[in-house]
Amino acid sequence: MRIWNERDHGKHADSLARLAMAAKDALPSCNIGSSGAGEITIKYDPDAQLKGVRFSSFYVRSMGKGDGELWRVMRKLNKEENTWEFTNVEEIVDFIASYIASEKANNGHVDIKQVEADQLSRAERIRLITSEMTSQLLEHLSKFKETTDGRRIFKELLSTMLWKFSEADGAKHGNKRWTRDALDCYAKDKLTKNLIHEHTIPRKVLIEELMSLEAIDQISIHEFLSKFCFATVVTKEEDDLLRKAGLNSKMPTDWSFGDDDVMARYKEANLSPVNIKD
């Protein structure tokens, strides 16, 4: 494998190396190699199966780091292509392993809907784990909230938990809430580079509320996060509207957590209507 070649992969070399090592351990029947700058291939070895059966090839590209690590996975088989986005290496390896298991069980064919259904159940597991971690973290708040550094680090950890919870279904493609403008933007070129995973209630607001809650058991935290910690895919232009309205990190002044209108920011900043994808 050539994936550690800094000249070929530049800033993506470390990320690709982590992916290759994880895939090598979890997918021993796969060939893993370089396919260009920022990308590697993961191909199932047909020699391990019946001759004449062709299995999928996966092209995994590191999209770099913005607010979080992003990976694009393309599956190719004959003329068929499917694309997904993931936020960490473990998700990619689990997803590819699910595909291979399905192909092996069906003589080279895969039930895409079943594999995606398995991923949705995994997303719920991620949310449950995140809720438990958040609950345990809040149990230690009193130890750290009295110092500036303690509160800062504590908020950073909570922010990570909120990202994990809201991205459990996927940062963009798997996300259920999209504005109309975001859907139109994606329909034009099938790219997500001009779209943003935007926390509908800003993380700063969620963190302050979490740190003030009295009930911090896992069930209570899971209910809170399920109700308030979600994202909407918006366009960059819509994100700018929120900033211009002074709402990029806060809710409208008359809003509270007892308010059922969780879309209040978007209405005040005149974003396009939000659609719920099936």
Q: Write the secondary structure of 155-169 as one string of H (helix), E (strand) and C (coil).
A: HHHHHHHHHHHHCCC
For residues 133 and 98, which has the higher predicted lDDT (pLDDT)? 133
| Interatomic CA distance for residues 142 and 138, integer angstroms | 8
Residue of higher predicted confidence among 1 and 251: 251
185 alpha carbon, distance to own chain's centre: 20
User: Could you read off the pLDDT of 163-193 as tens digits, one per residue?
Assistant: 999 998 888 888 889 999 999 999 998 888 8
For range 15-37, the mean pLDDT: 78
Percent of the residues in the chain that have a pLDDT greater than 70, as a whole number:
80
In this predicted model, what pLDDT tens digit does every residue of 73-103 receive, in sequence order? 888 766 667 787 777 788 888 888 877 777 6
pLDDT for the residue numbered 1: 46
Backbone angles phi, psi at 140, to 5 degrees: -105, 10
Check whether 4 has a pLDDT greater than 60: no
Give every CB contact of residue 187 below 8 A, 6+ residues apart in sequence.
Answer: none
Instruction: Read off the DSSP letter of residue 181.
Output: H
Sheet with 69-77, edge to edge strand ranges? 30-34, 39-44, 57-65, 69-77, 80-86
User: Which has more pLDDT, 58 or 77?
Assistant: 58
Higher-pLDDT residue of 113 and 253 is 253
247-262 in b/e burial notation, b at 16+ Cβ within 10 A?
Answer: bbeebbeebeeeeeeb
- Number of residues that this document lists for the chain: 278
Q: How far is CA 116 from CA 85, 151, 242, in A?
A: 12, 39, 33
Contact assessment for residue 40 and residue 73, using Cβ atoms and an 8 Å cutoff: no
Q: What residues does each domain of the chain span? A: 6-110, 123-276
SS3 268: helix
Read off the pLDDT band of 48 (50, 70, 90).
very low
Classify burial at 23, counting beta carbons within 10 Å of its beta carbon; exposed 0-12, middle 13-18, buried 19 or more: buried
Asked whether residue 230 carries a pLDDT value surpassing 50, the answer given is yes
Among 115-119, 140-144, 221-225, name the one with the lowest average pLDDT.
115-119
| Percentage above 90 pLDDT, the chain | 41
Mean pLDDT of the chain: 82
pLDDT for residue 141: 94
- Pick the range with the lowest mean pLDDT from 55-59, 117-121, 127-131: 117-121
3-state secondary structure 95-122: HHHHHHHHHHHCCCCCCHHHHHHHHHHH
pLDDT at 69 over 90: no
pTM here is 0.60
pLDDT value at 227 more than 50? yes
| Mean pLDDT along residues 10-16 | 73
Residue 136 parent element (H or E): helix 112-138
Mean pLDDT of 113-139: 79
pLDDT for 79 equals 62
Average confidence (pLDDT) over 216-221? 88
Residues contacting 115, CB < 8 A, separation 6+? 95, 98, 99, 102
